[in-house]
Amino acid sequence: MNVDGKPFRTVWWENDRVRMIDQPRLPHEFRIVDMASHRDTAVAIRDMTVRGAGAIGATGALGLAQAAVEAPDGSFFEYVAAAANLLRGTRPTAQNLFAGIDYVLKAIEAEGSDVARARAAAVAAGNAFADDDAASCRRIGELGAPLLAERPRVNTHCNAGWLAFVDWGSALSPIYVARRGGLDVSVWVDETRPRQQGSQLTAWELGQEGVPHQVIADNATGHYMAHGQIDITIVGSDRIAANGDVANKIGTYSSALAAAANGIPFYVAAPTTTIAMHTPTGADIPIEERSEDEVLYVWGWSDDGRFIRVRTAPRTSKGRNPAFDVTPAALIAGIITERGIVPATPEGIASVARR
Residues known to be catalytic: 238
Query: Burial letters for 55-67: b for 16+ Cβ neighbours within 10 Å, e otherwise?
Result: bbbbbbbbbbbbb
Q: What angle do CA 29, 219, 150 make, to 5 degrees?
A: 85
**Beta strand ranges found along the chain (DSSP E):** 2-3, 6-7, 11-14, 17-21, 32-35, 153-156, 186-190, 213-216, 232-235, 239-241, 246-249, 266-269, 275-276, 297-301, 307-311, 324-327, 334-337, 340-342
Query: In Å, how far are 96, 138, 274, 311 from 239, measured between CA atoms?
Result: 8, 19, 5, 32
Task: Tally Cβ neighbours within 10 Å of residue 221.
Answer: 24
Provide DSSP, 247-283.
Answer: EEETTHHHHHHHHHHTT--EEEE--GGGEETT--SGG
Beta-strand pair 17-21/32-35 = antiparallel
CA-based diameter of the chain, in Å?
66
Q: Find all residues with CB under 8 Å of 197, minimum gap 6, and list them.
A: 51, 158, 159, 249
Question: How far is 39 from 282, CA to CA, in rounded Å?
Answer: 31
Looking at beta carbons, which pairs linking 45-50 to residues 24 or more positions away fall under 8 Å? 45/87, 45/90, 45/91, 45/97, 46/90, 46/91, 48/23, 48/24, 48/195, 49/20, 49/22, 49/23, 49/24, 50/10, 50/11, 50/20, 50/21, 50/23
